Each structure stands twice: as C-alpha cells, then as structure tokens.
Chains A and B, each alone.
Chain A
Amino acid sequence: MAQSGRPPASIRIDGVTKTFDGQVKAVDDVTLDIEAGEFFSLLGPSGCGKTTTLRLIAGFETADAGRIVVGGQDITDLPVHKRDMGMVFQSYALFPHRTVAENVAFGLRMRGLPKAEIAERVAAALKQVALDGYEARRPSQLSGGQQQRVALARAIVIRPAVLLCDEPLGALDRKLRQSMQFELKQLQKELGVTLVFVTHDQEEALAMSDRIAVMNAGKVEQVGAPSEIYDRPRTRFVADFIGEINLFEGAWSGGRFVTGKDRTLPAVTNGARSGTGIIAVRPEKTRLVGEIDGALGGRIETANFLGGQVLYRVVTDEGRAVLAKEQNVGTSSRKVGDRVGVAWMPSDAVSLEA
C-alpha cells in the first residue's frame, strides 16, 4: 500500500543561527538546500549542532537569525503543531501511557480523521515496520528495536512531506542497526519523503545518504554526495572525520607540493598555487612499491589483516607514519620490517583548505 499521499517538500535553511544562553553558538550561520525526496544526512561529532539544526527545522527551537523555507513556504514563525513534519527522536519519546496502536494513531486523531480510516492507516503503518500483532502492547513491553519502529510508524503514518530523524539507530546493537539502515532507506524511497537524518556515524551516513552535510562547531564544512565527501574532502576537518586518511603538511612552490626536507609528493600540479598547504591521501589509494624515485621510503611497522585487504602502517625515513591499504590477492609476501616505498597517483592526492 502506497503511503505517500503528498509530494515531498524541499527544505531551505537560510543563514540560520541559534545561540544558547547567550554564548554557545550551537548553529552558526548555516545555509543548506535540501531537495525534495532526498535522503539528507547531518553528520558530525557530538556537540557540533546536528540536533539543534534538526530541532530548528521541526520548530522546537526558534532561530536567532535566518529563515527556514519548506516546500516554498516560509515556516520560520509557524508553531510546531502546524508544521506537519514527522519526527523520530533519539530516545524515541513514545507515549508510555498508551499502547502501540494508540501511539501510532495519535497524529491521525489530532487531525480528526474518522475512526475507520485511523484504524486502517495504523494497521498499514505497523505492517510497514513489521510490527503487526503488537497493537495492544505498551512501549515498556517492547525491545529497543521495536520501540524504534513504533516511533517510525508514528511519524510516517501522518504522511509527512518531511521526516526528521535524530540518530534513530544510535541505541541499537550493530547487527540490528545494519538491517534497520537498509530498511529505513528502503522505506524512504517507497514513501518518497524528504528525510533529514542526523548521525555521528560516518559509515552510516556514507551508506544511506543521497547527500551529506558535514558539520563542525555549528558550521557546515562541506555538502556533497557520499563519494564526493569521501574522495574529495574540502577541509582538513572533513578529511580527518571521514574514514582513515594520510595528511601531509607542506608548501606549494613552483606548482609542486613540497614537504619536509625538500621532498616533492605526488599531487596534481597547479602553477597557480603557492604558500603552505595540506594534501590528503586515502590509504586505499596508495600502492606499496620498491624503493623507487618519487616514492616515500620507509619500513613496515605493522600489518593488519582485514580480510579482503591488508592495512600497513609504514614509518618513513623522516619518521612519519603512513597508512597504506593493499588488496589481499594472496600473493603478497610483505612482512613487518620490510623496506618499501609508498606511492600514489597525483590525481588521488586531495589538496585541502586549511
């Protein structure tokens, strides 16, 4: 049964700032354009302002400055209960004094729908989250994963144009989390709803999102598709936060990237660049070669077998640790203590803004 009775809405957050207690800038001049029907993640470390951004969209917080426009309508001053958005809380926030069915029916009851329609839609929503048969239970009688799904059903049953989720999978164990990631993504596509998803888990964000906004200290550092964020991080913070990466500090001179004692590292030559800079290289973009010209010479310090791959930690002659990942093709004879050279394609080195 198609639940989507309404086209998804775009969200525009325009220069929004929120300060708590006159000092903590939880959200600092954030501008975001979220497309209709998009799975959009807010990703960042704890305390970076993800939840506050989500609560500003939902209307639980009022912005000090800026506008929020949803589906072309400026909702900055609209009270929460008129915004018509589904919200899944980190703590689920189920009504403890109501049964599962009553929890899910709540939003429909507030809309004054006829009893028969409510019953039908509650049943359909519970089916969608695979909780049919649990109607009469109370939240306290459910497992964490089941509570999470009740919270989801309660939010989607009102067929919102926008669904907001604050770390909805954060409290689940790893296995359950992975299957819920898949199900949530599936459900979002089925419903065609615009989903704003908050997480501090980069793997989760990379796996689920159409686009990601990486946040740091109240500001948006970079917005892009998962592959963009991963392969082309713009700032040092983004590069560092997402996955493992090797960072090299140095300077651009004559179009080359030079580090340490006059050592040129492979990077796309750009005559226009000058001054200090940082380049970043993913471990899996590196190759271990012999001690040839242009490669960073060093000694393998540790080798971690990851199954399909092997992760080497190489300490270079300058004393720098470099991570290198190689496919496990079954023929490698490298072992700890071997001397190797680390090399990469110039195009795989990303030049970062400070």
Chain B
Amino acid sequence: MSARRLDAGRVAYYTLNGAILTFLLLPLAIVAVFALNPTPYISFPPVGVTLRWFEKFFANEDFMRSLWLSLRVAAMVLVLSTVLGAMCALALARGRLPGAGILTAFFMSPLMLPAILTGLALFQVLLLSGVGRPVWGLVMGHTLVAVPYVLRTTLAVLANFDTRVEEAASSLGASPVRVFFEVTLPLIRPGVIAGGIFAFIVSFDQFPISLFLVLPKGETLPVVLFNYMKFDLDGAIAAASMVSIVMALSVVLLLERVIGLKAYVKL
C-alpha cells in the first residue's frame, strides 16, 4: 500500500519536473532547429541540416566585433559587481548602519525600475556631463543593474552565517583582516559567485540599457542582433543565439570548475 502511494508520488514528481524542464528548454530546442535549418527564412518544419548560418555569423565582421565587446564588457561587469556587491552586502549585514533596511532597498531598486528608464537616465547624465558614450559608461550602466543580484545572493548567505566561526578564528589568534580572508570570504564565496554568474549573464544579454549607451560601430551583440533582425530574419539570428547560449554556459562551467562551487554548496 505504502509502496504504491510512493510510486504515485514519484510519478507525479517526475511528471511535474519533466513538464517544467520542457517548458524551459523547448525554446532552446526551437532555436537550435532554426539554426540548423537551411531555408533562408525561419520556418517549420525543418527541411535539412546545415552549418551555413554559423558560417555566416562567424564571417560577419559586425557580429564578431560586437560579440568580443559584449564578452569584454560582461567580464568587467562580473568583476566590478562582485566586488561592489559583496562589499555592500557585508556593510549592510554587519555594519550596524542606521537605516540599513532603507539602504538595502535603495541598492536593490535598479531591479524594480524598467531598465529602459535606467538606460535613458544614464544616457542623459553621460551626455549632459559631456563625456559622450565611452565603453566604461556602458560597463557602469550594466554594473548598476548587476550589483543587486550579487547583493541579494550574498545577503542570503550572510543571513545564515554563524558568526561564532569567525569568533573561533579570532580566539585562535587571527587578526580581523585574517579572519576576513581565512573564514568570512571563503564562506560567503558561493553567494558571491552565484551573484557574479547572474551579473555576467545580465550584462551579456543586456539590451535596453545598452541601446542608449552604445556608439555606432561600438554596439554590443544584443543591439547588433536587434538591428540585424529589423532587416533580415534568417538563421544567422538563431546561430547567434546558440553561440550566446554556449558562451554563457561556458563561463558558468568555467567559474564552477576553477573556483569550485560544489565544495561549498552544502553549507
């Protein structure tokens, strides 16, 4: 009897998970099909398999320039937002600041504003202050919306942090600086890295903010793709999407491999 009930529960569990995964992954499968379909316009069902759209994507100078720029910007955003986000989280969780709640809401607010407004505002600030639209402006804009992700994941780790562990370290002779690097930082690292991955992805496929902050011939990949789509809707778009997905996935796996999320996940 109980074995049967267990089976029914399992079936329901796997069915639900299967449904959710299908829902999440189906668009990717469709993009993959389009990227490999030889017809010169996006159509269904596919009539064959070809790599010509990938060839077109990699041969296109605009695509390559913007892909490279997007990767560079996302890498800078990753570094900046993890450092800033982790420092903010530590200050907010540990600093006994007056009005820490309000400050947290303030730092999280870029998530609540439509990004297009943030982009417009940044555009005006940069223009009015006469600096034009340099790449660092783009990096700043992306960082602004990426920091909340790092902040949130790091605050979540800090909320469950047993400060006795830090006390133990100091009783064993570790100065406050050493406590930070030997204990605090390694223990909040999973949160910071998880936030950093979000930050990278937020920057890599950022569209509304980039739209305002890029110069002609200095566009990021999403902007170039958008412009391309206005005139051509062929498989190159799908191929570009596939490449983006693979790039983002590689960064996640690389971070996971190099810095090692697994060892700490069981905190």
Partner of A154, one of B172, B174, B186: B172
Given A106-B172, A158-B173, are A93 and B167 neighbors across the interface (CB < 8 Å)? yes
Contact with A along B69-87 (1 / 0, CB 8 A): 0000000000000000000
Is B264 interfacial (CB-CB < 8 Å)?
A: yes
Partner of B167, one of A60, A107, A111, A154: A60
Q: Are B165 and A107 in contact (CB under 8 A)?
A: no
Contact with B along A119-160 (1 / 0, CB 8 A): 000000000000000000000100000000000001100100
Given A89-B164, A96-B267, are A106 and B171 neighbors across the interface (CB < 8 Å)? no
Residues of A within 8 A of B264 (CB): 97
* A82–B170 alpha-carbon span in the complex (Å): 9
Interface size class of B (residues with CB under 8 A): 20 to 34
Is A81 interfacial (CB-CB < 8 Å)?
A: yes
Q: Are A95 and B169 in contact (CB under 8 A)?
A: yes
Q: Are A110 and B174 in contact (CB under 8 A)?
A: yes
Is B108 interfacial (CB-CB < 8 Å)?
A: no
Partner of B173, one of A60, A97, A110, A140: A110
Q: Are B173 and A89 in contact (CB under 8 A)?
A: no
* A85–B173 alpha-carbon span in the complex (Å): 9
Residues of B within 8 A of A80 (CB): 167, 170-171
Q: Which residues in chain B, 138-186, are within 8 Å of chain A measured between CB atoms? A: 162, 164-165, 167-176, 178-179, 182-183, 186
Is B242 interfacial (CB-CB < 8 Å)?
A: no
Is B4 interfacial (CB-CB < 8 Å)?
A: no
* A84–B172 alpha-carbon span in the complex (Å): 7
* A154–B173 alpha-carbon span in the complex (Å): 12
* A50–B178 alpha-carbon span in the complex (Å): 29
CB distance from B28 to the nearest CB of A (A): 35
Residues of B within 8 A of A86 (CB): 171
Contact with B along A278-309 (1 / 0, CB 8 A): 00000000000000000000000000000000
Is B187 interfacial (CB-CB < 8 Å)?
A: yes
Residues of A within 8 A of B165 (CB): 93-96
Partner of A95, one of B176, B183, B266: B183
Q: Are B173 and A81 in contact (CB under 8 A)?
A: yes
Q: Are B172 and A110 in contact (CB under 8 A)?
A: yes
The interface residues of chain B, by DSSP majority, are classed as helix
CB distance from A300 to the nearest CB of B (A): 51
In this complex, how many residues of chain A approach chain B with their Cβ under 8 Å: the count is 27
Partner of A97, one of B167, B176, B178, B187: B187
**Smallest CB gap from A140: residue in B:** B266
Residues of A within 8 A of B170 (CB): 79-81
* A155–B187 alpha-carbon span in the complex (Å): 21
Is B113 interfacial (CB-CB < 8 Å)?
A: no
CB distance from A104 to the nearest CB of B (A): 10
Residues of B within 8 A of A107 (CB): 172-173
Is B131 interfacial (CB-CB < 8 Å)?
A: no
* A205–B98 alpha-carbon span in the complex (Å): 43
Is B263 interfacial (CB-CB < 8 Å)?
A: yes
* A59–B173 alpha-carbon span in the complex (Å): 12
Residues of B within 8 A of A87 (CB): 167-168, 171
Residues of A within 8 A of B263 (CB): 97
Given A97-B187, A97-B264, are A58 and B171 neighbors across the interface (CB < 8 Å)? yes
Q: Are A84 and B164 in contact (CB under 8 A)?
A: no
Q: Which residues in chain A, 52-70, are within 8 Å of chain B measured between CB atoms? A: 58-60
* A82–B175 alpha-carbon span in the complex (Å): 8
* A97–B167 alpha-carbon span in the complex (Å): 15
Residues of A within 8 A of B174 (CB): 81, 106, 110
**Smallest CB gap from B172: residue in A:** A107
**Smallest CB gap from B166: residue in A:** A93
CB distance from A90 to the nearest CB of B (A): 8
CB distance from B141 to the nearest CB of A (A): 35
Q: Are B168 and A93 in contact (CB under 8 A)?
A: yes
Residues of A within 8 A of B266 (CB): 140
* A87–B171 alpha-carbon span in the complex (Å): 7
Partner of A83, one of B171, B179, B183: B171
* A222–B166 alpha-carbon span in the complex (Å): 34
* A111–B267 alpha-carbon span in the complex (Å): 28
CB distance from B257 to the nearest CB of A (A): 18
Interface residues of A (CB under 8 A from B): 58-60, 79-87, 89, 91, 93-97, 106-107, 110-111, 140, 154-155, 158
Which A-B residue pairs are the 6 nearest by beta carbons? A107-B172, A93-B164, A110-B173, A93-B168, A87-B171, A80-B170
28 CB-based A-B contacts, threshold 8 Å: A58-B167, A60-B171, A79-B170, A80-B170, A81-B171, A81-B175, A81-B176, A83-B171, A85-B171, A87-B167, A89-B164, A89-B167, A93-B164, A93-B167, A95-B169, A96-B187, A96-B267, A97-B186, A97-B187, A97-B263, A106-B172, A110-B174, A110-B178, A111-B173, A140-B266, A154-B168, A154-B172, A155-B171
11 other contacts beyond A81-B170, A110-B174, with CB at 8 A cut-off? A58-B167, A59-B171, A79-B170, A81-B172, A82-B173, A87-B168, A93-B165, A95-B183, A96-B267, A97-B264, A155-B171
Interface residues of B (CB under 8 A from A): 162, 164-165, 167-176, 178-179, 182-183, 186-187, 263-264, 266-267
